[in-house]
Amino acid sequence: MGSGDPAGLCPQCLILGAFDSLAGAEESGTQTLAIATAAGYDDFGRYRIVGPLGEGGMGTVYLAEQSEPIRRRVALKVVKLGMDTAQVLARFDNERQALAMMDHPNIARIFDAGVTSRGRPYFVMEYIEGATITEYCDRKRSTAKHRLALFLAICRAVQHAHQKGAIHRDLKPSNVLVTEQDGTPVPKVIDFGIAKATDKWAVENTLLTQFGQIVGTPEYASPEQADTMTGVIDELSDVYSLGVMLYELLIGVVPFETATLRGAGLAEMLRIIREEEAPPLPRKLASMGARASDIAGRRQTDPTSLRRLVDGDLNAITMKALEKVRERRYASVSDLAADIQRYLQDRPVLASPPGPIYLTRKLLRRYRMAVLGTTAGAAFLLLSGVTVWSLARASAARPKLTAKDTIVLADFDNKTGDPVFEDTLRQGMSVELQQSPYLALIADRTVQQTLTLMGQPKDARLTPEIARQVCERTGSAAVLDGSIARVGTQYVLGLRAKDCNTGNILDQQQVVATRREEVLNALSQMSRKFRTRAGESLATVEKHSMPLSEATTPSFEAFKAYSTAAKLSLSSENWGQDSIPLLLRAIEIDPNFAMAYAKLGLGYGGNGGNESALSAGYATKAWLLRDHVSDRERFFIDFVYDRQVTGNLEKAYKTLELWRQTYPRRAPTVANAQDLLGGISTQGTGRFERTMEAALDGIATEPGLAPPYSNLALAQFYTDRFPAAEDTLQRATARKVQRPSLSILQYNLAALKGDREQMDRIAGSASGNRALEHWIVHAEALALARSGRLRAARRSSGRAVDLALQEGEGEVAATFIAARAVWEALCGNSAEARTAAMAALELSTGRDVEYAAGLALALPGNSARSEALSSDLEKRFPEDTFVKFTYTPVLRALASQGKGKFADSVERLEITRTYEFAVNGLNFLYPVLGGLHSAYVRGQAFTGARRNAEAGAEFQKILNHRGLVGLDPIGALAHLQLGRVFVLSGDKLKAKAAYEAFLAVWREADPDVPILKSAKAEYARL
């Protein structure tokens, strides 16, 4: 096996060669030829082709003559075959207005766009007779100053376009032509607006087409254009491309040369564009060897002088334009132009750090006079409220951590006597360090487990020594411990990092905070310093660090409540809910505490959707404050917002994936992308494989945490892998992992197997468990209803409702009642169904309650009321995945059936197929009913429309997906409906078998259930 490239060939290209559809060399060769010659035969309307001008990535450019309304020569760009003509023109139309407004002497006009008689789109542009800017300058042996002047003109042109809202997206020397007018060179930017109209990546923000072919020019592409996930292409992207051009104009080469980029393989090429810093101009020039004198010669200078010229401000300006981090780049093209202008006028440029020496040198040059030394340095230190000094000697050999190491955080030693610093500083440090995508702290839960193994109480104080033992046992690399002491009115904070295997000190710092309010800032400073010392690059530290006091809260008391809540939610079985009072206190103290709101949003909505309205309110509040949080926290807030407010699970899911990608390492908190990735946004969009992958990952890294087991077992259950689900539950039990959802799932599995003994055992152990009992009793009710024992089911359901109400879970109680309404309706008891549905609605108007009640009302044909409910849902949850793709379509389809419009009903259900095999709000985690109601309703619609085969397939679908249907009564009723379909299609034998299957499940059913009576009568007729 070779080391990388099979047989020395580029793997990306090799694998693409494995697809039949890709044209081979000879085919593509002939195709290019065809385009070139075909231009002659094709009809370009009022334009007559004179001859080819050149060929680019997008197509061929011809010189053409326009005959009317005026006679002129134009450049005509014919877009390559294979692009969608209609789309290209539509996008061009969008751009047309911006383009029409652009009227700048340095921008080539775009006159027109059209389609040839053979269906190829083309653009008509001002014809510029000239050379590309680099050719022109080299031919003229332009000096650097002269080149800068031309470049400034280009900047102004681009700036003009930006003001009109047009982004170029493909700035490069070949798109800047220089003509001479009366002996003066005039640069012209061509192709404005064409990149956006034609290129796929203009829409999808990437350099790649579907099979990884590069469009655009990688040498000049900005990092965001190489970012397939999040790249935003705006003015700053053009700033970057201009930076590359400036680089090339100054020293004759681009930062990353074609050979390096293209030879690297695709993924590596994109990585270089995204991540690698451009080499500074002087260094690059020095690396050119013999070529340097030729390059210098074309600028009428020698290599040494050229190197000196580009060392300093010009380098700083170019590097600032080429910043990989958008925020640190020039904020606009005009800022870049202004800095160049300043350079040309010998004024200080923004791009350089304003060190005293630098300023002096500038002043000297500008005023040609002496300036004495300045005391600015000393003054600077006095201004800051915090001073930091380091006790660790900076040395190249200092041991560093690697990205694979984990860290144990000890408790801070609080010598101030002020209780507010207890826990708070450790928690604060934890929040700080979690901003790092590089470092990983050991999860608090793991710490607790390790303490237990060590014979210590779970909440034992983590002294440096105990933390060291935890560090050893968990195979971590280092212990971080800290202290705080008071000296007069000031506070001295200390931080120490120790390798727990060797005892070597990795880092040691002290910070003085002049006031109590400065303590959190001091903590932030220490954390940032530690991160860089531990080996994190300065760039990521800069990118991911929001001072704690800004990111989280400036109030100590609020933070204290928040961190105690975090601690509590770790040890509580029902995470989220027990911490609510503390979180409420946190927001009372600091009404702008975004993370506290977000956690409240999840706390109220996380478990069984108790108080969805409250949850949505808090999540919204958090979202409104999201500008004041760290990156990591923002992901969490965005996720909670989509989960609890918009209900847009696709968006929630994407946030999680992005979050995980940005922070591949686990955070030691409850809210982890890794754990949440197994949850509702993933399973609610049918991504069960992804769930299992994420969950397994979670189990592998933190085998003591509950959510991954729960998510894994659920995903296995929903995809009918019952033995695997049981296996997972056993693993959880073996690890002493408990959670209500695990017991509920266990109950469901037992009930589906008909294992009464196991069911009773679980029910027995749930008795008295306030977080669990009502759910188990409801599951019991559901299982009874599923076998037609409605009287017993009603009794159990009533008890479940009472228990839920005792817990203050009104919305949960309402879903229980609504579920009862649904099974009554399914069994033909429309009066009971109606009463229960109304009672549920009176108790709550939560999303799932309204849907279930609507279902109960619509099944027997009360369409008016159910239509009102679907309109209400639509209005309140326009983006909600369940509402949009399942709830309203099902309700509306039922309404159509009520009016006898079966074809219409089928039509309305079409959209439900999108997520038909996903879970919904009623059957995920805490199942109130089952899934696949859409299939049941569709089966009814097909039956009504006499499309027997299709109807049968729908009911069979329900029988085939036992996990998704769970204990829902439709799992039994589908047999009966299937039997009815067979009767209609005249297949008596199969019909009989289906009826018998139904009657077997309902063998203990109450005899007076309407649907049973009709079923028996129908069966007798067979």
Query: Site residues (CB under 8 A) for another protein?
Result: 1-4, 6-7, 9-20, 22-26, 28, 208, 210-212, 228, 266-268, 270-271, 275, 403-405, 437, 661, 664, 689, 692-693, 696-697, 699-700, 703, 721, 724, 727
CB 728, min distance to another protein, A: 10
170 carries an active-site annotation: yes
Judged by CB, which is closer to another protein: 218, or 898?
218
CB 555, min distance to another protein, A: 34
Residues 6+ apart with CB under 8 A from 640: 598, 601, 602, 619, 622, 623
Judged by CB, which is closer to another protein: 201, or 247?
201
Q: The tokens of 290 are what?
A: 């013999």
Chain position carrying tokens 């909505």: 605
- 777 CB-side CA count, 13 A: 24
Judged by CB, which is closer to another protein: 21, or 184?
21
- 938 CB-side CA count, 13 A: 24
**Which of 77, 89, 173 has its CA nearest to residue 126?**
77
Judged by CB, which is closer to another protein: 77, or 690?
690
Q: Can you tell me whether residue 490 is helix, strand or coil?
A: strand
**Which of 830, 722, 818 has its CA nearest to residue 778?**
818
The rounded distance, in Å, linking the Cα atoms of 240 and 255 is 12
CA 262 to chain centre: 29
The rounded distance, in Å, linking the Cα atoms of 891 and 52 is 62
Q: Can you tell me whether residue 576 is helix, strand or coil?
A: coil
CB 962, min distance to another protein, A: 15
Judged by CB, which is closer to another protein: 28, or 37?
28
Judged by CB, which is closer to another protein: 50, or 403?
403
The rounded distance, in Å, linking the Cα atoms of 447 and 749 is 33
CA 889 to chain centre: 28
Q: Can you tell me whether residue 269 is helix, strand or coil?
A: helix
Pairing of strands 440-441, 386-390: unpaired
Judged by CB, which is closer to another protein: 411, or 499?
499
CB 703, min distance to another protein, A: 5
> Cα separations (Å) of 419 from 415, 416, 557, 569?
10, 8, 10, 21
CB 477, min distance to another protein, A: 10
Given a contact cutoff of 8 angstroms between Cβ atoms, the answer to whether 795 and 814 are in contact is no
Terminal Cα-to-Cα distance of the chain (whole angstroms): 68
Helix ranges (DSSP H) in 45-184: 85-101, 133-140, 144-163
Judged by CB, which is closer to another protein: 25, or 1017?
25
CA 525 to chain centre: 29
Given a contact cutoff of 8 angstroms between Cβ atoms, the answer to whether 224 and 218 are in contact is no
> Cα separations (Å) of 131 from 176, 178, 194, 667, 896?
8, 6, 20, 55, 68
Chain position carrying tokens 């800004």: 550
Judged by CB, which is closer to another protein: 13, or 38?
13
CB 148, min distance to another protein, A: 35
Catalytic choice (170, 313, 590, 848): 170
Q: Helix 740-753 crosses helix 756-766 at what angle (to 10 degrees)? A: 160
| Sign of the CA dihedral with 932 first, then 933, 938, and 940 last | positive
- How many residues in the chain? 1022
Q: Can you tell me whether residue 349 is helix, strand or coil?
A: coil
Query: Can you list the pairs that 66-69 forms with residues at least 24 positions away whose Cβ atoms lie under 8 Å?
Result: 66/124
CB 96, min distance to another protein, A: 31
The rounded distance, in Å, linking the Cα atoms of 568 and 814 is 29
**Which of 854, 430, 846, 853 has its CA nearest to residue 604?**
846
CB 827, min distance to another protein, A: 34
Residues 6+ apart with CB under 8 A from 119: 85
- 10 CB-side CA count, 13 A: 15
Judged by CB, which is closer to another protein: 22, or 1022?
22
Judged by CB, which is closer to another protein: 490, or 540?
540
CB 740, min distance to another protein, A: 23
Known catalytic residues? Answer: 170
